Amino acid sequence: MVGVGKIPIDDAKVYLDGSLLLDAKVYVHIKGYSRARVTHVDVEHQSLKKVILPRHSDYPSVKWGSRVEISVKGHVIVIESETLGKIIKMDGNLYVGGKGKGIFLGFHKDQIRSLESFGESKGFPPIKRSS
């Protein structure tokens, strides 16, 4: 079951070191839903757990379009998605963090705004937390 505020990106294909990861799941996770403190992209597959351990991270440089190559910790993760290519436009560093089910991708303000606009179009506006 997908958590509330995690929007599936059904056209996404994920590769690790040249091999297609069958059953990989990609989500746009909107701030304020299902414990998200910031809007980000989740990439979930068991094989990705070995790339970056939970609570570890890297900050590689990427050029994002309908296909992005992320070189991290001696591995290459490729994500192909027309949907994400329309939402995310960037040429720079990307935060890649490990999590229990795979990895998450953190972005700069411009990309976060685009992801949150996408979330709003799907009925999930970001929720600001009160301190």
Q: Which two tokens stand for residue 93?
A: 């560093």
Q: pLDDT (tens digit, 9 = 90+) per residue, 97-111?
A: 999 999 999 999 999
Q: Which helix (H) or strand (E) holds 99?
A: strand 95-99
What is the reported pLDDT for 1?
Answer: 66
Position 131 pLDDT exceeds 80: no
Pairing assessment for the beta strands 6-8 and 25-29 based on DSSP bridges: antiparallel
Helix (H, G, I), strand (E, B) or coil at 50: helix
What's the pLDDT band for 130 if we cut at 50, 70, 90?
low
What is the reported pLDDT for 3?
Answer: 82
Query: In sequence order, what are the residues at sequence separation of 6 or more whose Cβ sits closer than 8 angstroms to the Cβ of residue 109?
Result: none
- Is the pTM higher than 0.75? The answer reads yes
What is the reported pLDDT for 86?
Answer: 96
Position 85 pLDDT exceeds 60: yes
**Mean predicted lDDT score pLDDT of the chain:** 94
Residue at 52: amino acid letter? I
What is the reported pLDDT for 4?
Answer: 87
Q: pLDDT (tens digit, 9 = 90+) per residue, 63-74?
A: 999 999 999 999
What is the reported pLDDT for 2?
Answer: 77
